[in-house]
Amino acid sequence: MARMSAPSPTLPEAPAAGDGAIRRPGLLGSWPEMTYAGVLSFLRRTYTRDWTGADVVVSGIPLDLATTFRPGARLGPAAIRAASVQLAELKPFPWGFDPFETLAVVDAGDCWLDAHNPHTIPGAIRDHARRILASGARMLTLGGDHFITYPLLQAHAERWGKPLALIHFDAHCDTWPDDSPDSLNHGTMFYKAVREGLIDPAHSVQIGIRTWNDDFMGLHVLDAPTVHARGADWALQQVLAIVGDRPAYVTFDIDCLDPAHAPGTGTPVAGGLSSAQALHIVRGLVPVNLVGMDVVEVAPPYDHADITALAAAHVACDLLCVLAAQRGARRAGA
């Protein structure tokens, strides 16, 4: 006589928690997570290539073929995502609001690059950015070495139809001469950007600079010693005055920070800003018309404790909070 199998028990529905990057039912809102587990999207946002309804698309560009010193920034996007998980647990400080109640943010994963055919890389990055910008969303890009900002600026200037104001945090000015159209060089992007009319030097500012160049190409330079002497609030007021109401692109090279605060980077330079100084300036950018953002040059192999990736995750999170504040999110107590 055949043995009858027992009916399968009816299991309760899985709780609405965990793996929000692939299980969240919509783009807005937050979702309970274990900080130490789950799918590692940036700030646990939904992973998708469907950008319908997204205000901001986060994506990584894992490139380090343009570095002049230590490689490793190709591992930056993954490290920043991993470091961001604890920031998704609570309302960001000092904002006191959940930016994702106001701002629909998705993680599109990484831009596909053919590292064995380097001359295809600028076009791949540019086309990746064009597709995202065509959706109406803004971009928050995780690098990758700083060369990626050059094709990103090309796509953003094309989208906005005018030269952009550049807010550039860095130890290096990256305006060294380079007239080769095919070079991959993370120290010449803004030379090309000025020459090609992608940015307006008169309304662009570089913060934290501590390397020399004979020609800064007309960009305003707030070097690191001056910021130390006059303070982060003074630097913020200078940035706001220089940029005004023009469409602005923010690029944050993590080596703007002193190596004590960001050891995991390809070209560290002593004497840089502290993370507190830099975050104060970033958090004060609410009056600026931000049209694009990137955080670059995180190279995890040179950092034993994820200090650099954590600093980058904080910068990127604060940039999203700036956009949320612009859309009406209110600081606690405001």
Q: Is 146 annotated as a binding residue?
A: yes
Q: Is 306 annotated as a binding residue?
A: no
Q: Is 172 annotated as a binding residue?
A: yes
Q: Is 156 annotated as a binding residue?
A: no
Q: Is 253 annotated as a binding residue?
A: yes
Show the 3-state SS of the chain.
Answer: CCCCCCCCCCCCCCCCCCCHHHHCCCCCCCCCCCCCCCCCCHHHCEECCCCCCCCEEEEEECCCCCCCCCCCHHHHHHHHHHHHHHHHCCCCCCCCCCHHHCCCEEEEEECCCCCCCHHHHHHHHHHHHHHHHHCCCEEEEEECCHHHHHHHHHHHHHHHCCCEEEEEECCCCCCCCCCCCCCCCCCCHHHHHHHCCCECHHHCEEECCCCCCCCCCCCEEECHHHHHHHCHHHHHHHHHHHHCCCEEEEEEEHHHECCCCCCCCCCCCCCCECHHHHHHHHHCCCCCEEEEEEEECCCHHHCCCCHHHHHHHHHHHHHHHHHHHHCCCCCCCC
Annotated binding site: 146, 170, 172, 174, 253, 255
Annotated binding-site ranges for Mn(2+): 146, 170, 172, 174, 253, 255
